[in-house]
Structure 1
């Protein structure tokens, strides 16, 4: 990934998570590029809590039943945040969002996490909408807050199944995992649950730590479910190993818009 502003880099955040953020590279300039690319504002308040679950309700062991209207792509777009709904934040369609990643987990238990990293959570949704959310008050800063937001609708109770599978994978893959693709292998050294504010009917938040030439790259995800709709929020810190902050007001505002 070439050196660009945080705003430009964020438009392809989902696509380059595995290929750039976490995979080994022979390009020595890539290590410097990350300091000028996608970055979230570092936070000292995002605490990890491996013992606590961020889910508002635990999914049963059996296959979950359907709940809530399954939104079309047009309805998802209408439900997505727009510029002006949260002060200082600009919301735009994510450039290249239709092209999801192709990383494959080398461990089956970690497959749900890799699917989220690819921007294609499993089970496969019936419709998907991608958005990039930026804090315009921080424009020009290296650590400008840039959030990727993915709204997906699911039929037949698979929204609950998605949440359950990701929650199980967070626990099973605490020691990290590896992926492979046509670009080569990628390594993620740690997965830990985060105790972020809950939202919607059910939510999960966690950090996946990747690496670039040995440097830790923390990636924070929060999944929020309301009915048959799941919203995935993603934010990363390519400047230093501190856990990036996912603005709670964005999550709360988006959850409030879901039907």
Structure 2
């Protein structure tokens, strides 16, 4: 069950509205690195957490709801950047000033389809897709995915920070960047609290996997190269169950697909 309050999680102010920056902010809402992605990702991951690990479900769900608040903040920022189109753009416009501003620096759909408000799309106007969401049902795998999601989200926020001189927008982004820092660290801490989670899934018996290649780095160069003696080619593996080695693709003969080609009538006669 969710509850909503009209108060924003963090106050959003825009000193100089900028339709182009509104377009860039859309990436932080509906893009692959955006808040819609992490909100739904953490929520659907929480649904799959078993009852004996309810503390992780709480962690995921509380963070998911926080991310919903971030969507609200960014949507407010988009609206404030659109509804106050700069005066110089109004003066230069040949027809409707707001539409002209959108055509010059933003997305026409934000004016034409959304009435100068945020949309569930990225900065190119591509609709958000659930394909961005990683929720495998394996807690360790999902936590690794969350570290990546927060890393790319923080990277996006820092890039947006460098794209604006608006003090209000910088303060909002400073807040979001700080929360990305916390979220990265909390997912790392959650991973470290799990016992024997490497490799994922750790519950699969390793004796069933091919023992000749399970800790071998495979070079794909055509010509043979010497072992570069890197942490991933020699020494003990992070799971403590093997020793890294350096080798090459074993090769398995030519693919025999003639029967399939005949059955699918793919051959040209």
State the TM-score bracket (shorter-chain normalisation). Answer: under 0.3
Q: Specify the structure having the higher radius of gyration (Cα).
A: 2
Greater share of strand: 1
- The two structures have a TM-score, normalised by structure 1, of 0.25
Q: Which has the higher contact order (CA 8 A, sep 6+)?
A: 1
- The two structures have a TM-score, normalised by structure 2, of 0.24
Greater share of helix: 2
